[in-house]
Amino acid sequence: MSKIKNIAIIAHVDHGKTTLVDALLKQAGTFGEHEKVDERVMDSDDLEKERGITIFSKNASFHYQGYKINIVDTPGHADFGGEVQRILKMVDSVLLLVDAFEGVMPQTKYVLKQALEHGLRPIVVVNKIDRPNSDPDAVVDSVFDLFVELGANDIQLDFPVVYASAKNGYAKIELEDENKDMKPLYDMIMQHVEDPEGDASEPLQMLITNTEYDEYVGKLGTGRIYNGKISKNEEVTLIKRNGDLVNGKISKIYGYDGLKKIEMEEALAGDIVTIAGIDKIDIGETVADKENPKPLPLIDIDEPTLAMTFLVNDSPFAGQDGKFVTSRNILERLQKEVNHNVSMRLEMTDSPDAFIVKGRGELQLSILLENMRREGYEVAVSKPEVIYKEENGKKMEPIELAIIDVADEFVGVVIEKLGLRKGEMVNMNQGTDGYTRLEFKVPSRGLIGFTNEFLTETRGTGILNHSFFDYEPFKGEVTNRHRGVLIAMEPGTSLGYALNNLQARGTLFIGPGVEVYEGMIVGEHSRENDLVVNVCKGKKLTNMRAAGSDDAVKLAPPKEFTLELALEYIETDELVEITPNSIRLRKKYLKANDRKKIENGTTSRV
């Protein structure tokens, strides 16, 4: 037991956590000499590889100086904060990774706050010191200021620092040291990470922090053994979150050697292992000794801040792409997601075809939707809406901390746009490279739909990062979208002639030859009101000819939407229709007469 170290890597998204894990595993001899190793080997999910971000926490281990070091790669985006909060229960220290160029970012603040509250003493790793214009010394100063701001104790404030370039595979204690290998970081881990507490002679206590499903052995539970030991074929008691006791038998125990799961006969207190054999196992529950079952403290997870309604797709094109289209299919998939994602909630509605899913942010919900469409599901979703709370009779709303890097010429327009969305500027730093960093506290609902507008106003050059800050009193009404939409009048195929005539009316979302239906959104109107248009109207053919009347139609490229941009764009009376092959925007009520009745209040909303 004394030969184990448990450590997690935490950082803002894209600061190099997964690349650092790669370097640690490679130099520890985890991979064979001739073994081909992918970049970012810990990013195993397709979406993680495509986006270059970590979504699910993952375990690995390596051996150094006779120690087994369990290392956990955590997500950097605050939307997946539930993953980070669970993982911090398993480890005895964290590597806090900070980019030597970008410095402290919103998610750095979020994950560090969690680590300090768990009483952990972080090791600060200043990564990407090889980047041009990086300033590692200034970054260390800003990290110290952040520790003070977050109320770190004296021991936590005396944090060790390592400078590294994970991409080039070296770390060093002083900036003047030679660029060699990762050995200084290994030594720092050995020196500063406490050995795990716990007693192997006590009754078994293991806290489950992650679950997954294996089609051969059934449900798997991963966690840390706090006390006692666990053996293959041992009979144990599972203590559920509500206090119920369920008896079970351990069929398999897996440890980690590098990235590979290896079967073990038994594991002792302090180790992080995966067990199989208990089908009813869930996150936050305790696997305990059968004769003397004692629960461990439950994992506290931050409450969701956004809610979205998932509906059965009822558009005229429903069922053309997807394999799973019924309410039963969608409900089963959502229940499966909620079972292993503790920061999500699922609520039923009065309608059997609609379900409310609550999560930590748009990215978390859009990742779920992207996975569902890849699995063959069809679904329609509403605009994400923030979840309000009431405290002492006051309406409270979630506030985000937004950090924005923009060229100096765009500072004014960004301040103006966020001011309209009830943003409050808390800091402004003008750099020497022509860029300014702005810090704002903005209501979460004010940031819904802002990314699109922000990229347009800064001509694609601005960088926006934000994470949940706190609940504050309601700031007043916010108007997110100031323009109406162009709505298809009838079903059919869009024609270049019709689209050409509509270009002056606004921005088009479709090109020629696209199948449309009545009520589908085909563009953005240049004015505030919605406009019903005919995109299927062809040119009337006659025998008359005139110079210039048959010129080639020149169409501007249509504006294309990613899933996140589509969710941000829609208003409360609109839906995003998501199928394996398409993302379409539509009105909730497809017929113009139905929309008029709702507007005039002559019929009840469904």
Query: pLDDT tens across 124-166, in order?
Result: 999 888 888 888 998 899 889 888 988 888 898 899 999 988 8
411 backbone φψ class: left, alpha, beta (φ>0; ψ -120 to 50): alpha
User: Which of 93, 122, 128, 92 is closest to 109 using CA atoms?
Assistant: 122
Query: Is residue 335 within 8 Å of 345, Cβ to Cβ?
Result: no
Q: Which residue ranges of the chain lie beneath pLDDT 50?
A: 1, 31-44, 48-49, 54-55, 604-606
- Report the relative pairing of strands 485-488 and 521-525 from DSSP bridges: antiparallel
Q: Tell me the C-alpha distance between 443 and 425, whole Å.
A: 12
pTM exceeds 0.75 for this model: no
User: Which of 454, 446, 306 is closest to 386 using CA atoms?
Assistant: 306
Query: What pLDDT sits at residue 327?
Result: 92
Q: Tell me the C-alpha distance between 45 and 51, whole Å.
A: 10
Q: Give the three-class secondary structure for 331.
A: helix
Q: H or E segment at 287?
A: strand 286-289
Residue 387: exposure state from Cβ atoms within 10 A (0-12, 13-18, ≥19): middle
Locate the DSSP E strands across 373-452.
379-381, 385-386, 389-391, 394-407, 424-430, 435-443
Query: Is residue 471 within 8 Å of 391, Cβ to Cβ?
Result: yes
**Which sign, positive or negative, has the C-alpha torsion 175, 179, 183, 189?**
positive
Measured CA to CA in angstroms, residue 49 lies from 12, 144, 284, 321 at distances of 17, 33, 28, 25
Domains, the chain, ordered by start: 4-192 (3.40.50.300), 205-289 (2.40.30.10), 389-473 (3.30.70.240), 485-566+587-600 (2.40.50.250)
Beta carbons within 10 angstroms of residue 605's beta carbon: 8
- Looking from the CA of 447 toward its CB, the CA atoms found within 13 Å total 27
Tokens of 529: 């009101």
Query: What pLDDT sits at residue 219?
Result: 82
φ, ψ of residue 134 in degrees (nearest 5): -75, 155
Q: Tell me the C-alpha distance between 89 and 72, whole Å.
A: 11
> Vertex 485, ends 482 and 486: CA angle to 5°?
155
Query: Is residue 356 within 8 Å of 349, Cβ to Cβ?
Result: yes
Which residues define the annotated binding site for GTP? 14-19, 127-130
Tokens of 71: 């290392």
User: Which of 523, 529, 532, 449 is closest to 484 using CA atoms?
Assistant: 529
The radius of gyration of the chain from alpha carbons, rounded to an integer in Å, stands at 27
φ, ψ of residue 143 in degrees (nearest 5): -65, -40
Tokens 């009105």 locate to: 587
Beta carbons within 10 angstroms of residue 456's beta carbon: 10
Q: Tell me the C-alpha distance between 463 and 452, whole Å.
A: 12
User: Which of 364, 568, 560 is closest to 451 using CA atoms?
Assistant: 568
Query: Is residue 32 within 8 Å of 176, Cβ to Cβ?
Result: no
Q: Tell me the C-alpha distance between 442 and 400, whole Å.
A: 5
Q: Tell me the C-alpha distance between 160 and 456, whole Å.
A: 42
Residue 187: exposure state from Cβ atoms within 10 A (0-12, 13-18, ≥19): middle
Q: Tell me the C-alpha distance between 272 and 591, whole Å.
A: 57
Query: Is residue 383 within 8 Å of 584, Cβ to Cβ?
Result: no
Q: Tell me the C-alpha distance between 289 and 266, whole Å.
A: 14
Query: Is residue 90 within 8 Å of 126, Cβ to Cβ?
Result: no
Beta carbons within 10 angstroms of residue 560's beta carbon: 11
Q: H or E segment at 453?
A: helix 450-457
Which residues define the annotated binding site? 14-19, 127-130
Q: Tell me the C-alpha distance between 138 and 133, whole Å.
A: 12
**Which sign, positive or negative, has the C-alpha torsion 143, 399, 16, 116?**
positive
Query: Is residue 471 within 8 Å of 333, Cβ to Cβ?
Result: no
Query: What pLDDT sits at residue 579?
Result: 93
Which amino acid is present at 30?
A: T
